[in-house]
């Protein structure tokens, strides 16, 4: 079936936050003698073991991952906060989350200047007003972001849940020098009067606005408005509103601008105000102030998805006092509080490692975002979370992490997912800005729900409705399954796999990814079987367990690992044989080079519409994705020894790409073949070489998930999402403790013979609450009740965790 829109479907562009559309405030301003506050340096020297006065916020650098494709949002935000102010740059390829740590120009906060004090000479359009930053002036901390512009303005920002607060500082002189951009990199230095102009441009990063209204009050300079925008990785449109107020200087005049044309004769734009419907591009309001007596102007910007007046209400409620220090302190306390559930002994760890751990942990609480009370689509008493971006990425590590460190919020997220099902008819796989996002593989919210059920999240969760939702994923094909549910369900039922030549008559979606959809649907069915079992649906349990074995139908035992070298034409490869391969409706196998879409061979041709059988990964990678029956897979791959050498080869040959979430679990799958030491070995190969504290220190799109991977690895366990199984590797700390959900106890993981040089990384023996524990995994109970896990370490692999009875459970070896 032809799916025209997908032909030009963009490669996945996952944007961290789409809610800062209105923060393109730039202050005009002169002077270049202005000295930005000294960059706040980490005071990192006195962080000894057990000292209770360690402030973990000092180890959080939100700028990690702001280049090299990490797409991290480094601005100010509360945990799961909706308001996310930050600076936006013109490195469009990297700027999915706004800010980039390079020398690209700053679009938001660009200064407008005018040598004759004439607002008409200011530059209003996004690209024209871009200005360079003061080198190394970007400062980011939880709840705070600041940057110096090369025009004398120093911009700082902080946030409450729905409101951003900006503080712009200006030089004290009455006239200030200003480097006026001429053309290219040329600048002309002039002197201009110190009379700041701040404008608010109704535009978003993607330039997606249509329509919209905006007005400015001449007496107070309050600006209000909103517009229609398109989501960054999904369908449809959403409305967003703002309300901006200012403090700190006398208003000289106000007005509007349309593209480069500014006027003080009109104070409102948009069809609501009787002017023409706004076309795309820069449009907005501005205010010019007299010189600020304290050399500072505060701008408070409330946001809302309901209305502009709701945005004003949010701002007034949350930041009635314009007190920057108070808001910042409150935000930092909120972060300290969230992170206080983890106590780590920092002894022997480098600052680099500490920053990698704490910053990664911090990033796992940026999104999903709490939009409770801001949902324009339906009225409900349930919590509402948005920016599930995307569950394909987050179900593997981020949600299981939140289940341990923030179960209350994870519970609210589960309830929000169920409520989305209730009102929209399907669980999302990806959702942002109240819009349906693209489904990358299976219906992986099924795994999120099963994981929560296994781990006893209960408060207010309607499990009967949750079960209805996952069964709907499995049984009812939506008309457009590119944005929810599954496709090819009739083939799934009759053939037991998604055929490469599927002719789905029930719905529309990209008929690609037959291997990756097959393995994901199989595991999603396993998750449903588990829920059926817990909730007493016996027949369903059998049915879905059977279907969870469907991955076998694509196993091609003879398929060889061969590929052609692009330059020499030589056939290369390895001796490993047997891979998942695409299969036709008639049962015959088609073929996809096993390494296709790995870093070593045509990495970037496996997306929705690229007609390949895998998504963002190779058959090599997807052939390991059988989390519920690794024992069967190991057999098919020739037994434990061959499996271990295959998995080692996967990690050592360049086929593995750690910058994507499906690649997390294979780091730990040695456990299933009785070699937990190899998992520990690979953890240390990737940390810190790929996960570190540099601005480039994330190997791929963060998605709030990369930090969950490193956080788990540091703490000494990794979840098999959707099962009550956590695989053990030694913590990278001498000791780490996680508070139990009731707040009364601790789950402590402690290394005996801890070696901060990481030469002794192999577990020799383990004691759980004083008793020998030979299994190489534990259950969630440990984190619920608390307890003590002690690892004795040594420089060589040992027998620990290697015996059949020590392995994590598999379907074929009696998991149920
Ligand atoms: C700022 O950094 C850029 C790139 O690193 C460099 O080209 C430029 O000369 C620096 N500017 C100043 C004023 O140091
Ligand atoms: C800032 O402006 C000055 C004056 O025009 C210029 O010499 C300098 O290179 C600029 N710095 C950057 C980083 O562009
Ligand atoms: C501004 O608007 C006027 C009147 O509509 C038009 O003549 C002029 O070309 C516009 N200027 C710019 C820079 O767009
Ligand atoms: C989510 O937002 C609502 C409404 O603002 C608030 O009542 C609730 O406490 C928030 N939840 C969390 C976990 O912060
Ligand atoms: C597909 O369509 C047929 C015919 O309308 C219907 O009977 C069947 O239930 C549909 N299958 C799914 C999975 O929705
Ligand atoms: C840090 O991580 C990045 C991204 O994964 C990597 O390219 C870089 O080499 C690492 N740096 C160090 C010093 O290991
Ligand atoms: C969930 O609760 C049940 C009953 O209270 C208990 O038996 C089980 O161990 C708990 N599971 C986890 C993972 O905490």
Q: What is the pLDDT of residues 524-565, one digit of tens each?
A: 999 999 999 999 999 999 999 999 999 999 999 999 999 998
Find the mean pLDDT for residues 646-652.
98
Instruction: Please indicate whether residue 699, judged by its CB atom, sits closer than 6 Å to ligand 6.
Output: yes
Cα separation, 816 vs 805, in Å, equals 15
pLDDT tens digits, one per residue of 496-529: 999 999 999 999 999 999 999 999 999 999 999 9
Which of 195, 207, 206, 212 has its CA nearest to residue 284? 212
Q: Please tell me the predicted confidence (pLDDT) of residue 184.
A: 64
**Ligand 7 atom closest to the CA of 455, numbered from 1:** 13
Q: Please tell me the predicted confidence (pLDDT) of residue 25.
A: 31
Name the residue at shortest CA distance from atom 11 of ligand 6. 689
Q: Please tell me the predicted confidence (pLDDT) of residue 584.
A: 98
Which of 622, 620, 734, 713 has its CA nearest to residue 668? 713
In 496-518, which positions are buried (b, 16+ CB within 10 angstroms) versus exposed (e)? Answer: bbbbbebebeebbbbbbbbbbbb
**Ligand 7 atom closest to the CA of 781, numbered from 1:** 14
**Ligand 2 atom closest to the CA of 187, numbered from 1:** 5
Ligand 7 surroundings by CB, under 6 angstroms:
455-456, 724, 779-781, 784
pLDDT at 372 over 70: yes
Instruction: Please indicate whether residue 369, judged by its CB atom, sits closer than 6 Å to ligand 4.
Output: no
pLDDT at 392 over 80: yes
Question: Kind and range of the H or E element at 201?
Answer: strand 197-201
CB contact set of 507 (below 8 Å; sequence gap of 6+): 477, 478, 479, 480, 481, 487
pLDDT at 52 over 60: no
pLDDT at 179 over 70: no
Instruction: Please indicate whether residue 150, judged by its CB atom, sits closer than 6 Å to ligand 2.
Output: yes
- The CB density around residue 35, as the number of other CB atoms within 10 Å, is 12
Of the two residues 816 and 651, the one the predictor is more confident about is: 651
Cα separation, 275 vs 265, in Å, equals 13
Provide the H-helix boundaries in 387-462.
Answer: 391-394, 398-405, 407-424, 445-454
pLDDT tens digits, one per residue of 413-454: 999 999 999 999 999 999 999 999 999 999 999 999 999 999
Structure-token pair, residue 572 = 């290369």
Looking at domain 14-25+84-335, which CATH architecture does it have?
Distorted Sandwich (2.70)
Q: Please tell me the predicted confidence (pLDDT) of residue 115.
A: 35
Name the residue at shortest CA distance from atom 11 of ligand 2. 150
Stretch among 117-126, 387-396, 434-443, 620-629 having the lowest mean pLDDT: 117-126
**Three-state SS for 790?**
strand
Cα separation, 227 vs 513, in Å, equals 36
Which band of pLDDT confidence, cut at 50, 70 and 90, is reported for residue 95? confident
Which of 383, 509, 504 has its CA nearest to residue 441? 509
Find the mean pLDDT for residues 740-762.
97
CB under 8 A, 24+ apart: contacts of 503-508: 503/1, 503/585, 504/1, 504/477, 505/1, 506/477, 507/477, 507/478, 507/479, 507/480, 507/481, 508/1, 508/3, 508/479, 508/480, 508/481, 508/482
Which band of pLDDT confidence, cut at 50, 70 and 90, is reported for residue 191? confident
Centre of ligand 1 from the C-alpha of residue 135, in Å = 6
**Three-state SS for 410?**
helix
Upper half-sphere CA count for residue 27 (Cβ side, 13 Å): 34
pLDDT at 21 over 60: no
Name the residue at shortest CA distance from atom 4 of ligand 7. 456
Centre of ligand 6 from the C-alpha of residue 696, in Å = 7
> Which stretches of 349-498 are assigned E, i.e. beta strand?
369-370, 385-386, 431-432, 435-436
Which of 292, 310, 309, 311 has its CA nearest to residue 301? 311
Sequence spans of domains, the chain:
14-25+84-335
Question: Kind and range of the H or E element at 533?
Answer: helix 514-535
Centre of ligand 7 from the C-alpha of residue 666, in Å = 28
Q: In what order do the strands lie in the sheet with 283-289?
A: 25-27, 197-201, 283-289, 251-258, 261-263
Q: Please tell me the predicted confidence (pLDDT) of residue 181.
A: 64
Name the residue at shortest CA distance from atom 12 of ligand 6. 689
Stretch among 8-17, 214-223, 752-761 having the lowest mean pLDDT: 8-17
pLDDT at 116 over 70: no
Centre of ligand 3 from the C-alpha of residue 637, in Å = 70
Instruction: Please indicate whether residue 506, judged by its CB atom, sits closer than 6 Å to ligand 5.
Output: yes
Ligand showing the shortest atom-to-Cα distance for residue 64: 6
Q: Please tell me the predicted confidence (pLDDT) of residue 180.
A: 65
Which band of pLDDT confidence, cut at 50, 70 and 90, is reported for residue 666? very high
Cα separation, 141 vs 124, in Å, equals 30
Instruction: Please indicate whether residue 476, judged by its CB atom, sits closer than 6 Å to ligand 5.
Output: yes
**Ligand 2 atom closest to the CA of 150, numbered from 1:** 1
Cα separation, 431 vs 443, in Å, equals 13
The average confidence (pLDDT) of the chain is 90
Residue 670 · residue 678 · CB < 8 Å: yes
Q: Provide the greatest CA pair distance for the chain.
A: 82
Question: If 0-12 CB within 10 Å is exposed, 13-18 middle and 19+ buried, where does residue 206 land?
Answer: middle
pLDDT at 409 over 60: yes
Of the two residues 33 and 619, the one the predictor is more confident about is: 619
Centre of ligand 3 from the C-alpha of residue 258, in Å = 9
Cα separation, 769 vs 226, in Å, equals 57
Which band of pLDDT confidence, cut at 50, 70 and 90, is reported for residue 22? very low
């Amino acid at each position: 079936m032809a799916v025209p829109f997908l032909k030009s479907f963009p490669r996945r562009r996952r944007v961290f936050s789409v809610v800062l559309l209105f923060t393109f405030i730039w202050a005009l301003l002169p002077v270049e003698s202005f000295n930005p506050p000294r960059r706040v340096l980490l005071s990192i020297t006195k962080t000894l073991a057990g000292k209770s006065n360690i402030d973990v916020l000092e180890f959080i650098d939100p700028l990690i991952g702001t280049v090299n494709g990490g797409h991290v949002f480094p601005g100010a935000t509360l945990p799961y906060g909706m308001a996310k102010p930050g600076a936006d740059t013109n490195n469009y390829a990297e700027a999915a989350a706004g800010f980039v740590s390079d020398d690209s120009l700053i679009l938001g906060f660009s200064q407008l200047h005018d040598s004759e004090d004439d607002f008409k000479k200011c530059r209003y359009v996004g690209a024209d007003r871009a200005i360079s930053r003061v080198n190394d002036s970007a400062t980011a901390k939880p709840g705070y972001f600041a940057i110096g512009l090369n025009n004398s303005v120093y911009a700082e920002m902080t946030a409450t849940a729905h409101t951003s607060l900006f503080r712009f500082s200006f030089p004290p002189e009455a006239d200030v020098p200003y480097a006026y951009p001429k053309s290219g990199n040329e600048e002309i230095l002039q002197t201009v009067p110190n009379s700041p102009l701040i404008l608010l441009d109704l535009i978003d990063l993607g330039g997606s606005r249509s329509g919209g209204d905006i007005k400015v009050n001449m007496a107070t300079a309050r600006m209000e408005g909103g517009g229609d925008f398109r989501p960054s990785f999904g369908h449809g449109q959403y409305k967003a509103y703002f309300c901006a107020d200012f403090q700190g200087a006398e208003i000289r005049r106000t007005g509007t601008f349309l593209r480069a044309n500014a006027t003080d004769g009109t104070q409102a734009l948009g069809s609501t105000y009787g002017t023409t419907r706004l076309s795309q591009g820069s449009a907005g309001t501005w205010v010019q102030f007299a010189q600020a007596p304290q050399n500072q102007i505060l701008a408070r910007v409330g946001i809302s998805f309901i209305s502009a007046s709701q945005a004003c209400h949010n701002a007034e409620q949350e930041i009635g006092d314009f007190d920057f220090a108070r808001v910042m302190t409150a935000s930092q306390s909120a972060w300290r509080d969230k992170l206080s559930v983890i106590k780590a002994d920092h002894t022997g760890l480098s600052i680099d490692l500490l920053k990698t751990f704490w910053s990664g942990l911090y990033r796992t609480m940026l999104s999903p975002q709490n939009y409770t009370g801001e949902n324009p689509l339906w009225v409900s008493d349930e919590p509402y979370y948005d920016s599930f971006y995307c569950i394909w990425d987050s179900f593997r590590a981020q949600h299981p992490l939140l289940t341990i460190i923030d179960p209350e919020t994870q519970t609210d997220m589960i309830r929000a997912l169920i409520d989305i099902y209730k009102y929209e008819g399907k669980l999302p796989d990806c959702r942002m800005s109240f819009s349906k996002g693209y489904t990358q593989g299976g219906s992986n919210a099924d795994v999120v729900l099963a994981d929560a059920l296994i781990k006893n999240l209960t408060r207010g969760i309607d499990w009967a409705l949750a079960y209805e939702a996952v069964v709907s994923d499995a049984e009812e094909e939506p008309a457009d399954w590119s944005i929810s549910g599954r496709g090819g369900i009739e083939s799934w039922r009759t053939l037991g796999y998604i055929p490469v030549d599927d002719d789905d008559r029930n719905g529309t979606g990209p008929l690609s990814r037959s291997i990756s959809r097959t393995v994901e649907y199989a595991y999603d069915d396993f998750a449903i079987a588990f829920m059926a079992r817990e909730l007493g649906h016996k027949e369903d349990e059998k049915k879905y367990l059977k279907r969870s074995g469907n991955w076998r139908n694509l196993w091609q035992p003879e398929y060889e690992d061969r590929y052609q070298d692009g330059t020499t034409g030589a056939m290369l490869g390895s001796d490993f044989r047997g891979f998942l391969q695409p299969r036709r409706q008639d049962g015959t196998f088609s073929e996809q080079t096993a390494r296709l879409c790995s870093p070593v061979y045509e990495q970037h041709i496996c997306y929705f519409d690229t007609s390949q059988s895998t998504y963002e990964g190779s058959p090599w990678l997807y052939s390991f994705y059988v989390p519920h029956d690794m024992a069967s897979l190991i057999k098919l791959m020739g037994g434990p020894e061959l499996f271990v050498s295959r998995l080692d080869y996967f990690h050592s040959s360049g086929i593995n790409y750690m910058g994507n979430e499906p690649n997390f679990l294979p780091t730990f799958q040695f456990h299933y073949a009785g070699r937990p030491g190899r998992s520990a070995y690979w953890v240390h190969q990737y940390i810190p070489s790929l996960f570190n504290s540099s601005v480039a220190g994330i190997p791929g799109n963060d998605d709030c998930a990369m930090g969950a991977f490193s956080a788990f690895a540091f703490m000494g366990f990794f979840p098999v999402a959707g099962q009550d199984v956590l695989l053990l590797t030694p913590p990278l700390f001498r000791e780490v403790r996680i508070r139990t959900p009731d707040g009364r106890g601790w789950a402590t993981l402690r290394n005996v013979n801890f070696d901060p040089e990481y030469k002794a990384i192999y577990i020799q023996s383990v004691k759980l609450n004083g008793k020998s524990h030979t299994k190489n995994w534990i259950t969630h109970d440990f984190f619920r009740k608390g307890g003590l896990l002690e690892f004795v370490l040594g420089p060589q692999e040992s027998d620990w965790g290697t015996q059949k009875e020590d392995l994590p459970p598999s379907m074929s070896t009696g998991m149920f």
